[in-house]
Amino acid sequence: MGHGIAQVALQNGFRVILRDLEDRILSQARGRIEKGFDRLRDAGKIEGGQKAEWLKALTTTTALADLKSADFVIEAATEDFEVKKAIYQDLDGVCPVPTILATNTSSISVTKIAATTRRPQKVIGMHFMNPVAVLRLVEVIRGVDTSAETATATHQLAKRLGKTAVEAGDSPGFLANRILMPMINEAIFVLMEGVGTVEAIDTVMHRGTQHPMGPLALAYLI
């Protein structure tokens, strides 16, 4: 998710600092971003030199302190509250007061994450869909203390990234996963009860309701 968000930001004219724990991970992320640009070039959607121009705006680092110059930080760490808590407490100490901190969480309370900082009014949910470079939706989730100014800035950023922003309440699963997971669970129950095979279940939802893929294939991808 992190490299996908970075790619989309670069494509839309932003300077990006991509931070992770190891240079090895950052090298892999940069490689994936380059492949994403190559796909656009091969499809005739960008000029040959555009890739190099975009990559000039990308900085990779393992030092969280390098984010001190960021106006907007989007965190896409693993879905573990303790991991996120540590990250947000560090960001709170590094980033200037005006910096907005956005979480790409798909399930953890934005209010709970915001409460680990001294700037809960500047913390918001910005849940991108995967793959980020392809799907245009972003769920914007306000915590209890998220300010209107922070929400407005987040909607403006989503628009500049070419995304459609939809506001969701700070409830487990928000909108997309709150609706999606019962369907996946039901597909698993249907398989368990022998009502249909994996192929039949996925074909019904893919061909019959125009889902991009069946629920079991999607569960496997997730």
Give residue 60's pLDDT band: very low, low, confident or very high (50, 70, 90). very high
Phi and psi at 57, nearest 5°, equal -90, 5
Per residue in 101-151, pLDDT tens?
999 999 899 999 999 999 999 999 999 998 999 999 999 999 999 999 999
Could you tell me the pLDDT band of residue 94, with boundaries at 50, 70 and 90? very high
In this model, does residue 222 exceed pLDDT 90? no
Q: What's the pLDDT score for residue 78? A: 94
Residue 107, both tokens: 């399930």
Say yes or no to pLDDT of 161 above 90: yes
Cα separation of 118 and 188, whole Å?
43
Residue with tokens 């409460």: 115
131: preceding bond cis by omega (within 30 degrees): yes
Asked if residue 40 has pLDDT above 90, the reply is yes
pLDDT bucket at 18, cuts 50 / 70 / 90: very high
191, 216 Cβ separation under 8 angstroms: yes
- If pLDDT is split at 50, 70 and 90, which confidence band does 31 have? very high
Of 166, 179, 174, 180, nearest to 109 by C-alpha is: 174
Residue 206 has pLDDT above 90, yes or no: yes
- 122 close to 100: Cβ distance less than 8 angstroms: yes
- Sorting pLDDT into bands at 50, 70 and 90, what band is 199? very high
- List the beta strands (DSSP E) in 143-192: 164-168
Q: Is the pLDDT of residue 156 over 90?
A: yes
Using pLDDT thresholds of 50, 70 and 90, give the confidence band for residue 48.
confident
pLDDT band at residue 176, thresholds of 50, 70 and 90? very high
pLDDT value, residue 170: 98
- Over the range 58-71, which residues count as b (16 or more CB within 10 Å of their CB) and which as e? bebeeebeebeebe
Domains, in order of start, for the chain: 1-62 (no CATH), 64-172 (3.40.50.720), 176-221 (no CATH)
Q: For tokens 């979480």, what's the residue?
A: 103
Angle between helix 176-192 and helix 198-209 axes, rounded to 10 deg: 140
Which residue, among 152, 155, 216, 161, has the nearest Cα to 188 in the 3D structure? 216
Spatial distance between the Cα atoms of 190 and 202, rounded to a whole number of angstroms: 11
pLDDT attached to residue 53: 95
Kindly tell me the number of DSSP H helices and DSSP E strands found in the chain: 9, 7
pTM: 0.92
For residue 199, how many other CB atoms are within 10 A of its CB? 11
Question: Mean pLDDT, to the nearest integer, of 195-216?
Answer: 96
Active-site residue set: 106, 127, 139, 177
73: enclosing H helix or E strand? strand 72-75
Could you tell me what percent of the chain has a pLDDT over 90?
A: 96
